[in-house]
Structures are given as structure tokens and as C-alpha cells.
Structure 1
Amino acid sequence: MNIRHVCEQDDQMLADLILRIEKESDFMLYEGGERSLDARGINQKIKTVQSQENSTIIVAEDDSKLIGYVMAMGGLARRNRHSAYLVAGLLKDYRNKGIGTKMFQTLLSWAQKKGLHRLELTVIAHNDAAIALYKKMGFKVEGVKRDSLWISGKYVDEYYMARLL
């Protein structure tokens, strides 16, 4: 198991990983098959992230294949450059094995070195495993987005969560 920052050569594997996680999970914004991603588009995203001091993509790798990611997208304005919005995903077969914790520990270490002050995310209110991980990593619920998403024929809430560094 290796936790590291993404590199440009990961573009196709990262595109495939994101699409696979969206297919496996009811907790992602996009449903499986709803969008297409290709290596070229992801490669451009990786380059953009690498050019910004307050953004990164952390990946988990097992046996030379990507199995999880945490993206931190830093604010672009002077007033919010101290913060980053997070999106995370992990393949179903690798959940509940401490990999999410390791990815977030790596992300937190990076964020502190970069001088970030705030990390924030949204999470579906009934995604108990993710909420437990985020709380373990020091995130707190700051609010509720009521009826935020339409999933499996019903509206669901999301929590706003954040951690101050």
C-alpha cells in the first residue's frame, strides 16, 4: 500500500478509478455512467492542481493500481486561498481497512505544510462510515443542506463539515 501525490502519468488510472467509484457508490455526486472522463481531461486537471500551491490530489495505490483518492481544491481568491474543498473516494473492496485514514493523514500533513487554515467538504447525511472517518480526522458538522440531492427516488440531506488547522 502506497499513499502519495498524484502524477501526470496517473491520468488514465485516475479517470478509471473515479468512474468505477461512482459506479460502486450511492454516496458520490455523480451516478455511475452519468459522465465520461478521459485521460486527457484528467491530465489537464492534474496539471492545474499541481500549478496551485493550495491544491493537491492524494492517491492510494495497491499493487501498481489506484484504489482511492482525496482531492483538495484550494480557493482561488485572496479571501479564500487559506481553504480547500475536499472530494474523496475509495473502492468498495478497500473500505474499512484504514486506507481512508492514511489518505487523510497525508492530506492533513500536506495542508499544514502549505499553511492552509480550513479544509471543508460535504457528505451525504446517512453516509455513516464517511462521517465517522471525517470526525476521527477532526472535522465537525457546520450545517445541513436539506434535500440537497435526489438519490434512489428521494431527497437526501448533506452535511457541511470542516476542520480548522
Structure 2
Amino acid sequence: MIIDKQEFDVNGVNYIIRSAEEQDAKVLSEIRMQIDGETENMDRESGEAFIDVLGFEQLIQADSASPRNLFLVAQVDDRIVGFSRCQGNSLKRLAHKVEFGVCILKEFWGYGIGKNLLKVSIDWADTNSITKINLSVLETNDKAIRLYQKLGFEIEGVLKNDKILSDGKYYNTIMMGRFNGRKDS
């Protein structure tokens, strides 16, 4: 789905959040690889599960056409510095929910970009009959977990020993969800 762009000014950095466009594909391919190498909070290491320009073009086309998907980019001046995706499902039993994922270049952490990408995604979901957003987060990413909880997400489960990081140790993945709708008991 395509949404209107929104402007933000946080800690002296002006940026916009807008729907991804096909011409963003090359930059998205490059920064995804960079971001994957900047933090162990992602599922991938740099270069793993590489998505080339054509792959991003196809994702953007599909997400733009789907009422259950949302692909956003964060742009400072003319530079894309991060992105997020909400991926839905067309199966009736799963159509009420989407899976959220986000990544931001490390040099732009601390400017509320991830938080605002998530807030825009929540607003989109709430106005498009999507009642649940799921996400996963590494157990050591306390800052993200606190942010998600502040925005209404609850811990729904833990995948134990889910990831092996560079120190050779196993770490848990926290599964979180935000439900905006009527709960049946």
C-alpha cells in the first residue's frame, strides 16, 4: 500500500517517512547489507540473504499493490537511512495481522527514526483493518524492547537459544505483538 509522506524533526535531524518507490531499490540493496554488518540485532550478517536491485524492485511493486503490506523508507535530505516493512498474509485466518521489521543505519540511531517508522506503521494498520502487528527482537536489545512495550506491544513468547552471535553464545528471540481489536476470551 502507498501512504502519504510524513515529516519529522528529532534532535536537530529533519527526515521524512514515505512509501518506498522502485527507484529506491539500488540504495535499499546497498544499505540493507551495510546495516546487517553494523549490528547483531538483525537476523543476518552482512551479505547473507542478499536482495539485489531487481529483488527490491519486485518487493516494492508487490508491497505497493497489496492492501496488507507496507514498505516505508526514512530519508534525511536525499539520503535513505533506513526502512521498515509490514508483511501481511492473504489467508483468511491470518489476514488480520502483519509482521513488522525495521533497520536503520547506525549513524542515524537516536533520532527516533525506528520509533516513527513503527508509529506510522501502527497508524496504517489501525486504519486498514489490521488488528495485530507481530515482531521479533533479540533479547539483548533492551532499548527496542522498552520502545515496543511503550507503543503497546506485549511479550508473547520466547524462542530459546534461537541465535548464535559472534561470541559463539546462544541468545533468545523475544516474540512480541500489539493487538488493536476486540479480544474474545
Once the two structures are TM-superposed, the CA of residue 2 in structure 1 deviates from its matched residue by 0.6
| Length-normalised TM-score, structure 1 | 0.95
Once the two structures are TM-superposed, the CA of residue 96 in structure 1 deviates from its matched residue by 1.6
Matched residue SS, 1:110 = helix
Larger RCO, structures 1/2 (Cα 8 Å, 6+ apart):
1
2:171 maps to which of 156, 162, 165: 156
Larger radius of gyration: 2
Q: Distance in 2 between matches of 1:120 and 1:27?
A: 17
Q: Distance in 2 between matches of 1:54 and 1:94?
A: 28
Q: Percent identity?
A: 30
Matched residue SS, 1:131 = helix
Q: Tell me, yes or no, if the aligned pair for 1:83 and 1:119 is still in contact at 8 Å.
A: yes
Q: Distance in 2 between matches of 1:89 and 1:57?
A: 12
How large is the RMSD of aligned CA atoms in angstroms?
1.1
Q: Distance in 1 between matches of 2:115 and 2:49?
A: 28
2:47 maps to which of 21, 33, 36: 33
User: What residue ranges of structure 1 are gaps of 5+ in the alignment?
Assistant: none
Once the two structures are TM-superposed, the CA of residue 139 in structure 1 deviates from its matched residue by 0.8
User: What residue ranges of structure 2 are gaps of 5+ in the alignment?
Assistant: 1-14, 181-185
How many residues are matched? 165
2:159 maps to which of 141, 145, 162: 145
| Length-normalised TM-score, structure 2 | 0.85
1:94-113 mapped onto 2 (5 Å cutoff):
94-113=108-127
Q: Distance in 2 between matches of 1:59 and 1:164?
A: 24
Give the partner amino acid of 2:152: G
Moved over 2 A (4+): 33-37
Q: Distance in 2 between matches of 1:85 and 1:114?
A: 15
Q: Distance in 1 between matches of 2:96 and 2:89?
A: 7
1:53 maps to which of 67, 78, 87: 67
